[in-house]
Amino acid sequence: MIPRYTRKEAAAVWDAQTRFKIMFEIEAHAADAMAELGVIPKEAARVIWEKGRDAVWDPERIDDIERVVKHDVIAFLTHVTEIVGPEARFLHQGMTSSDVNDTTLAVQLSRATDLLIEDVDLVLAALKKRAFEHKLTPTVGRSHGIHAEPTTFGLKLAGHYAEFQRAKERLAMAKFEIATCAISGAVGTFANVAPQVEAYVAEKMGLAVEPVSTQVIPRDRHAAYFAALAVVASSIERLAVEIRHLQRTEVLEAEEFFEQGQKGSSAMPHKRNPILTENLTGLARLVRSAVTPALENVALWHERDISHSSVERGIAPDTTIHLDFALRRLANVVDRLLIYPENMQKNLDRLGGLVHSQRVLLALTQKGLSREASYAAVQRNAMRVWRGEGNFLDFLNADEEVTLSDAELEELFDLGYHFKNVDVIFARVFGEQT
Amino acid sequence: MIPRYTRKEAAAVWDAQTRFKIMFEIEAHAADAMAELGVIPKEAARVIWEKGRDAVWDPERIDDIERVVKHDVIAFLTHVTEIVGPEARFLHQGMTSSDVNDTTLAVQLSRATDLLIEDVDLVLAALKKRAFEHKLTPTVGRSHGIHAEPTTFGLKLAGHYAEFQRAKERLAMAKFEIATCAISGAVGTFANVAPQVEAYVAEKMGLAVEPVSTQVIPRDRHAAYFAALAVVASSIERLAVEIRHLQRTEVLEAEEFFEQGQKGSSAMPHKRNPILTENLTGLARLVRSAVTPALENVALWHERDISHSSVERGIAPDTTIHLDFALRRLANVVDRLLIYPENMQKNLDRLGGLVHSQRVLLALTQKGLSREASYAAVQRNAMRVWRGEGNFLDFLNADEEVTLSDAELEELFDLGYHFKNVDVIFARVFGEQT
Amino acid sequence: MIPRYTRKEAAAVWDAQTRFKIMFEIEAHAADAMAELGVIPKEAARVIWEKGRDAVWDPERIDDIERVVKHDVIAFLTHVTEIVGPEARFLHQGMTSSDVNDTTLAVQLSRATDLLIEDVDLVLAALKKRAFEHKLTPTVGRSHGIHAEPTTFGLKLAGHYAEFQRAKERLAMAKFEIATCAISGAVGTFANVAPQVEAYVAEKMGLAVEPVSTQVIPRDRHAAYFAALAVVASSIERLAVEIRHLQRTEVLEAEEFFEQGQKGSSAMPHKRNPILTENLTGLARLVRSAVTPALENVALWHERDISHSSVERGIAPDTTIHLDFALRRLANVVDRLLIYPENMQKNLDRLGGLVHSQRVLLALTQKGLSREASYAAVQRNAMRVWRGEGNFLDFLNADEEVTLSDAELEELFDLGYHFKNVDVIFARVFGEQT
Amino acid sequence: MIPRYTRKEAAAVWDAQTRFKIMFEIEAHAADAMAELGVIPKEAARVIWEKGRDAVWDPERIDDIERVVKHDVIAFLTHVTEIVGPEARFLHQGMTSSDVNDTTLAVQLSRATDLLIEDVDLVLAALKKRAFEHKLTPTVGRSHGIHAEPTTFGLKLAGHYAEFQRAKERLAMAKFEIATCAISGAVGTFANVAPQVEAYVAEKMGLAVEPVSTQVIPRDRHAAYFAALAVVASSIERLAVEIRHLQRTEVLEAEEFFEQGQKGSSAMPHKRNPILTENLTGLARLVRSAVTPALENVALWHERDISHSSVERGIAPDTTIHLDFALRRLANVVDRLLIYPENMQKNLDRLGGLVHSQRVLLALTQKGLSREASYAAVQRNAMRVWRGEGNFLDFLNADEEVTLSDAELEELFDLGYHFKNVDVIFARVFGEQT
């Protein structure tokens, strides 16, 4: 992971100490279950917890051992023996390395996802606050980057709120996908470890039991997990791109908060750049880049091969850490966003009323003109405005085919007309009539 | 889509006639709702249905019109007017093209997903049948491509069954993601079309209402959809790769059905190649390739841009059609798979009992030898077997540190020991004790 | 491929007739070489050419045969026998299907690349024409979407020209990568076909000899090929995005040509949307989506498996056809782009001279003020302009720390200053002093 | 990057000290050029070098400053002032941050690529050594995982050698793509910095001049760079997958070196797993995952946005470091690969001569039997062998339609026949007749 895009809470999920602590807990819970089944002495299990519960593991020592044995879990167990003493020989009976590694990964991904869900809640809170502030702030809706019709800034934000609600559901689903425990032995047959051990460890670690593990937990789960995170990243990108557009010099309807002492450019002191949202755009690309390798990890050979492991050593921490950072940054950007309603109004007025072309079109068809003739009449006058020849309303008034009175036309240019259903949409999104 | 990987049922979802029929229905249902609200004459709505319900639309005519107006929905509506007559002018009032296009796409993707779910059911049925046939057929479990411990062929298939159950859930979830209806007008404000129209059309077309559409249905939904299909494709690949491995000349534990008249190679008449599962491997890559563009489609500009459209014209039909084909092919391959239990047994015996090394290890530790010493003892004798020096059991008997009696060792080499929990796993997967 | 994004010249490369003609030529040239070596009768080779040279092959017949034999090349050869007669039995001696298929693909990809290079030439010509037209048209350079310093519209286009020159080189290199011929027999050992046959066919088909083929031409070549096309697609996207930005209502410095009869929106008759460049943005995503499956195709098993085939049936035609279409469309968009220098000037003036902040900064440091103090002085006055409090020049004049005379300041605000090296850059790009 | 997949030589390219040293050199060389042009005092340039040439920069101090100014290059320059003194104010005149950042990245990527090319040389050397050792070691060629015809193990390796020669060329080309220098000022117009400065710095840093930079070096270059690395990664995967296949228990024609003290499995002491090549398979996925974000980085907005930066902070070090590690590991695996010719022979004999089916087919057609009848005759007897009914040669002798004498048949079963062109292929690849 990239240090500058890393929160310490997210990094903590992935540090060596956390990992070894989880590994120990899995082994020790398994020992408890085996002791209960009479497979190992209860006293051994007790001593293991006593000596290991609050142990500080030594990652460097474990690395040293691994350099000799070329096997990470054996290196860990050897170190556990150094700390816990001879009772450690009762650990890991009938288990395989993947039982520990995969279940540890499940715990880490679950915890990381809990952070991500908290983060999305912050984004949602910021969006909701700003959406209600600007529920009726008029702004132009743009399709294809071109002025279309009026909308409100609150509606824009409500749309993103709804999208992040879906993001939250996707994260919950993603956690559900990967939060499983496998303690099933060498090729998943429970030959040397009873299914009860798995059930016990699963419950203690807050996981479900994996129905069929073949030494490993099947990697379709992880592919689905990283795919879900990638979709969340794209939702971040959509909001980031929106803000970048709004901050463009010619638009300037909103702006990232610019702190005291901040410098926009080493060369041009006048600059105020949307660097946070540009950064989020890049982070979204990084997070998404985990999808393809995660999909390629699914088709492991037979009961397992270990090709997935190096991939996950990279993408599991990197993707969750960067997404955590991005969501926090996004929440902050939205929360402190400088919003300029007067510029929104100025932009809305820029085309001299062209944004009302559809209403004129509909009014003409309702007067009995064919759709095609109505369209042609409105387009003909609109194009004159684009060419800078004058004012839309004047042209319409002067056009003989446009059989609408002055009063009728004026009413068609009323902005409020567009906002009559804002309450309906807000109720759909925020679940309340406000 | 590639014709040879296209079933006609799947292609039918995407042909022009189907598309125009759905578009007409959306417009006509909207007209009904508008008539009910008094926005357009009820008689108009009635005539529209009467003339249009069973109309055969002329895609070439629509293409011709589009070449002039450069707009697909306007071209369609113009053609509808040709068929339905002047009442067609009451269609599409206050609606925007995306209302029709996006809702049509939602209907098409929903229908395509229904096919995919049916296909997965076929895969599941085939896997279940073969899993029960071979519930207790011994075969070697392999990790890293190397013999590990015994398992059963039924267990292998049960693992894939569980994965395809997840695939089915993912498809159901994917359908839920994209099955929404938007009839909200130019920038999604319902300025010129009432929310009731949307609700009515949604219900008639079997869709949910999109909470906030900004002219378009937000594309995070479609990204999630294609991501789900990609995960399913990877699950296909995993099973296809398994079969390819099993059919290798040196392994030959299973084989794709080889039809009369089939030729394996133009040059080598003796060949019987796993070409169907190799083909599935390739199709999985193709289906997965939709994920990245679908993710890139999310961040549309402001209320919408149309960059997503060309992408979806490609990936929506191609991905669903190829996945449908792949699932059907997979179901057929599994259903007719030639399975060779005697070869499985032969392979299982190949290492002269090395697959029992873990049991010996555990027995030694239970005799009080340290884990490290036990491991060294077993490994030392196993390596002699790898070097072709003789038989594992003999070496163990001869090793002084291996304090196990002949009888004890023999029992440790019992195959049945590994299958005692097959019932437990089958019950987890198939939900029954059999 | 998607019909609406398909030029017939590009489609022709991939139609069945072309493919069978190339396959026949490869087989017939090989027959010539074998006849020369005395392996088959010269008369047979003569008859094969006589009967086959202008034959019209029947794809449906070949499909019918393939349905029985389940092998595409055997089906083709059987059909050739139907047309050519008994001499056809001398064809394909010692060859394997991949010799024909892979070499045919090499020819098709080569021809497709020739089209792409022609297309890039059109893009280059359009860019060059417009670059020289607007060599000195002032426009604002934007970093982060924010006004930075003045540049010229010609310079913008020169940058894209240089990028498309690189695109052309990448396509030439990509063609070099895949233009190889393999006629090496079953596993590439030339056991039953002499290397001379390969050399002869290669020369006749305009290809290089593949140094080592293992039945197939190695797929790292194709991966490199599709990767090159993906980079070209991204260059298209960059220019498309630039134009979309320039056409935004608030910017309107350039606009796609809008044809007579064209409709921008079914609902809003005033719209003029950059739909061509949005479409190009989407097509770029489609073309890029071939990279991942092409990379996944590289690691075929042992001497070959056929998983690459279904992938290539999709991506080879689709990617080249869509890229061809996109490049042509881009050339046309650039060639006919409506460019509005007066709007560029208006936008340039929008910030009241802030774009000159760097020159003021440099002048202050040259007067002996520290860089930090100079930066602070300029930024402080610039921020007042952003806040809408007044004019940059006035503020600078009034600032005591800004020890620059009126004349000095005025000179610092001279636009021409920025264009003094345009000739230098143009000479680098277009290779001439103009 | 992942520490366990990091060589310190590769990490050194990317550490903070290296980066700041390169940044200083770029700034100081630029100062020299400016001094030569009379823009700044020569004495200042001299002092800058004197104080800065061997300076040890303080990354933490720079981070602290950045936390205030929110700008990385300004933070660096502030720190330079702390070390170099007041002359530092003459640095960076007329330059923009990207001039330094992008040129620094070009230097780092160039150096990283030099390492990669060295690594490929090691792979090539190992492949060549082993290829010549086993130039004539018979082994079965496999298509579709099924025995096809005989080849030699040397030929297999020669194919990979040729592929890594292409990898080397691709890396050289990739370096050429990104080794450019931009010192062109705020939006690339050289308004405040002369083109001569750029030319001077480029030469001193071993780079070419970027023809048109728009503040940034265009990102199509970097996309092409990471795409090239991805293709190299796939070539690694192909060889890794080959070795994994060869090490499968049933095949066992080659094996990764297994070190003293190494443990294959925590549970199963008998295991010897191809974990290095499985790891390489995973690393290939990781390296490839940089392609998509690199392609997405190309379409920056206008003269630049900074979305590429966070992506490159991840992929530039990670991808080059992991690829460096993977290539070294691969060279080592190949160099020490345990190769078992006797097992190759055993596997070759497994099908009782079926691998000679093509020769029999050709012989029959040369005897005048039609291709179809010949094929049917050979296939019919081959299928009996597959069914385990007996020996291929016996069946052929007994088949009336097979009009080949015993002597003829025996000759057709001669292995040496397949190796007659090995020299030809080796000469193509290794450029010598041996």
Q: Please report whether residue B433 resides in a domain.
A: no
Residue of C nearest to A381 (CA): C270
Contact list in A for residue D279 (CB cut-off 8 A) is 306-307, 309-310
Whether residues C270 and A244 touch (CB distance < 8 A) is answered with no
Whether residues B144 and D274 touch (CB distance < 8 A) is answered with yes
Residue in C292, C361, C386 nearest the CB of A272: C386
Whether residues B218 and A421 touch (CB distance < 8 A) is answered with no
Whether residue B188 is found in the same domain as residue B332? yes
Whether residue D405 is found in the same domain as residue D263? no
Does D3 reach chain C within 8 Å, measured CB to CB? Answer: no
Contact list in B for residue C91 (CB cut-off 8 A) is none
Mean pLDDT, chain B, rounded, equals 94
Residue in D282, D311, D322 nearest the CB of A307: D282
Domain boundary among B93, B118, B147: B93
Mean pLDDT, chain A, rounded, equals 94
Please answer whether residues C323 and C285 qualify as being in contact, where contact means their C-beta atoms are separated by less than 8 angstroms. Answer: no
Whether residues A270 and C386 touch (CB distance < 8 A) is answered with yes
Catalytic pick from C144, C266, C270, C405? C144
Whether residue B246 is found in the same domain as residue B331? yes
Whether residue C100 is found in the same domain as residue C88? no
Contact list in D for residue B357 (CB cut-off 8 A) is 268-271
Tokens (6 digits) for B12: 């039918």
For residue D266, name the pLDDT band (cuts at 50, 70, 90).
low
Whether residue C207 is found in the same domain as residue C332? yes
Q: What's the pLDDT tens digit per position in D94-118?
A: 899 999 999 999 999 999 999 999 9
Residue A195 φ then ψ, to 5°:
-55, -30
Please answer whether residues B428 and A212 qualify as being in contact, where contact means their C-beta atoms are separated by less than 8 angstroms. Answer: yes
Q: Please report whether residue B425 resides in a domain.
A: no
Residue of A nearest to B223 (CA): A231
Whether residues D357 and B251 touch (CB distance < 8 A) is answered with no
Please answer whether residues C236 and C322 qualify as being in contact, where contact means their C-beta atoms are separated by less than 8 angstroms. Answer: no
Q: Is B141 helix (H, G, I), strand (E, B) or coil?
A: strand
Which of C142, C248, C257, C270 to mutate to test binding with chain A, by most A CBs within 10 Å of its CB? C270
pLDDT at D432: 64
Q: CA-to-CA distance for A20 and A18, rounded, in angstroms?
A: 6
Which of 61-80 (D) contact A at CB < 8 A? Answer: 68-71, 73-74, 77
Contact list in B for residue D244 (CB cut-off 8 A) is 144-145
Whether residues B263 and C74 touch (CB distance < 8 A) is answered with yes
Q: Please report whether residue A33 resides in a domain.
A: no
Q: Please report whether residue C239 resides in a domain.
A: yes
pLDDT at C384: 86
pLDDT at D331: 98
Q: Residue A395: which CATH number?
A: 1.10.40.30
Residue C379 C-alpha, separation from nearest chain B C-alpha, in angstroms: 31
Say which DSSP state B306 is in. S
Tokens (6 digits) for A206: 């807050």
Which of 222-261 (C) contact D at CB < 8 A? Answer: 223-224, 227-228, 230-231, 233-235, 237-238, 240-242, 245
Does C130 reach chain D within 8 Å, measured CB to CB? Answer: no
Q: Which domain holds residue D408?
A: 354-412
Q: Which of A135-139, A410-414, B104-108 has the lowest mean pLDDT?
A: A410-414
Whether residues C231 and D241 touch (CB distance < 8 A) is answered with no
Does C354 reach chain B within 8 Å, measured CB to CB? Answer: no
Q: Please report whether residue A17 resides in a domain.
A: no
**Distance separating the N- and C-terminal Cα atoms of chain A:** 43
Residue C260 C-alpha, separation from nearest chain D C-alpha, in angstroms: 30
Q: Is B335 helix (H, G, I), strand (E, B) or coil?
A: helix
Does A403 reach chain C within 8 Å, measured CB to CB? Answer: no
Contact list in B for residue C281 (CB cut-off 8 A) is 305, 307
Q: What's the pLDDT tens digit per position in A316-355?
A: 999 999 999 999 999 999 999 999 999 999 999 888 788 8
Q: Is D208 helix (H, G, I), strand (E, B) or coil?
A: strand
Q: Residue D233: which CATH number?
A: 1.20.200.10
Whether residue B280 is found in the same domain as residue B191? yes
Whether residues B292 and A295 touch (CB distance < 8 A) is answered with no
Residue of A nearest to C268 (CA): A358
Catalytic residue IDs of B: 144, 265
User: Has C270 been annotated as catalytic?
Assistant: no
SS3 track for chain C: CCHHHCCHHHHHHHCHHHHHHHHHHHHHHHHHHHHHCCCCCHHHHHHHHHHHCCCCCCHHHHHHHHHHHCCHHHHHHHHHHHHHCHHHHHCCCCCCHHHHHHHHHHHHHHHHHHHHHHHHHHHHHHHHHHHHHCCCCEEEEEECCEEEEEEEHHHHHHHHHHHHHHHHHHHHHHHHHHCEECCCCCCCCCCCCCHHHHHHHHHHHCCEECCCCECECCCHHHHHHHHHHHHHHHHHHHHHHHHHHHHCCCCCCEECCCCCCCCCCCCCCCCCCCHHHHHHHHHHHHHHCCHHHHHHCCCCCCCECCHHHHHHHHHHHHHHHHHHHHHHHHHHHHHCCEECHHHHHHHHHCCCCHHHHHHHHHHHHHCCCCHHHHHHHHHHHHHHHHCCCCCHHHHHHHCCCCCCCHHHHHHHCCHHHHHCCHHHHHHHHHCCCC
Whether residue C138 is found in the same domain as residue C167? yes
Please answer whether residues C1 and C323 qualify as being in contact, where contact means their C-beta atoms are separated by less than 8 angstroms. Answer: no
Please answer whether residues D97 and D184 qualify as being in contact, where contact means their C-beta atoms are separated by less than 8 angstroms. Answer: no
Q: CA-to-CA distance for B402 and B384, rounded, in angstroms?
A: 15
Q: How many domains does chain A have?
A: 2
User: Has C265 been annotated as catalytic?
Assistant: yes
Whether residue C191 is found in the same domain as residue C269? yes
pLDDT at A432: 64
Sign of CA dihedral D193, D196, D202, D203: negative
What's the complex ipTM?
0.95
Residue B153 C-alpha, separation from nearest chain C C-alpha, in angstroms: 24
Give the Å distances, CA to CA, from D148 to A421, C189, C303, D232, D245: 70, 12, 9, 28, 16
Whether residue A114 is found in the same domain as residue A181? yes
Whether residue B103 is found in the same domain as residue B209? yes
Whether residues C185 and B311 touch (CB distance < 8 A) is answered with no
Which of D177, D245, D371, D374 to mutate to test binding with chain C, by most C CBs within 10 Å of its CB? D371
Which of 280-319 (D) contact C at CB < 8 A? Answer: 281, 284, 288, 291-292, 295-296, 298-306
Residue B234 C-alpha, separation from nearest chain A C-alpha, in angstroms: 6
Please answer whether residues A219 and B215 qualify as being in contact, where contact means their C-beta atoms are separated by less than 8 angstroms. Answer: no
Residue B78 C-alpha, separation from nearest chain C C-alpha, in angstroms: 11
Tens place of pLDDT per residue across chain C (434 aa) = 899 999 999 999 999 999 999 999 999 999 999 999 999 999 999 999 999 999 999 999 999 999 888 888 989 999 999 999 999 989 998 899 999 999 999 999 999 999 999 999 999 999 999 999 999 999 999 999 999 999 999 999 999 999 999 999 999 999 999 999 999 998 999 999 999 999 999 999 999 999 999 999 999 999 999 999 999 999 999 999 999 999 999 999 999 998 766 776 766 777 789 999 999 999 999 999 999 999 999 999 999 999 999 999 999 999 999 999 999 999 999 999 999 999 999 999 888 788 888 888 888 988 888 878 888 889 888 888 877 788 888 898 889 889 898 889 888 988 889 999 999 999 999 996 54
| Neighbors of chain D with 3 or more C-beta pairs under 8 Å | A, B, C
- Which has the higher per-residue pLDDT, C388 or B139? B139
For residue B71, name the pLDDT band (cuts at 50, 70, 90).
confident
Tell me the helices (H) and strands (E) count for chain B, helix number first: 18, 6
Whether residues C151 and D188 touch (CB distance < 8 A) is answered with yes
Q: CA-to-CA distance for A315 and A300, rounded, in angstroms?
A: 17
Residue in A159, A218, A295 nearest the CB of B212: A159
Contact list in C for residue A251 (CB cut-off 8 A) is 248, 250
Whether residue D258 is found in the same domain as residue D407? no
Q: Please report whether residue C50 resides in a domain.
A: yes
Q: Please report whether residue A138 resides in a domain.
A: yes
> ∠ CA B138-B141-B147 to the nearest 5 degrees?
115
User: Is residue D165 pLDDT above 60, yes or no?
Assistant: yes
* A7 dihedral zone (left: phi>0; alpha: psi -120 to 50; beta): beta
- Cβ atoms within 10 Å of C136's Cβ, excluding its own: 15
Q: Please report whether residue B420 resides in a domain.
A: no
pLDDT at B432: 64
Residue D180 φ then ψ, to 5°:
-125, 155
Q: What's the pLDDT tens digit per position in D137-160?
A: 999 999 999 999 999 999 999 999
Residue D245 C-alpha, separation from nearest chain B C-alpha, in angstroms: 8
Whether residue C276 is found in the same domain as residue C369? no
Whether residues D145 and B275 touch (CB distance < 8 A) is answered with no
Beta strands D146-152; D138-143: pairing state: antiparallel
Domain boundary among C93, C114, C134: C93
Whether residues B148 and A301 touch (CB distance < 8 A) is answered with no
Q: Which of A219-233, B219-233, C134-148, D346-360 has the lowest mean pLDDT?
A: D346-360
Domain boundary among D332, D351, D370: D351
Q: What's the pLDDT tens digit per position in B292-315?
A: 999 999 999 999 999 999 999 999
Residue B206 C-alpha, separation from nearest chain A C-alpha, in angstroms: 19
Q: What's the pLDDT tens digit per position in A57-99?
A: 999 999 999 988 888 898 999 999 999 999 998 999 889 999 9
For residue B339, name the pLDDT band (cuts at 50, 70, 90).
very high
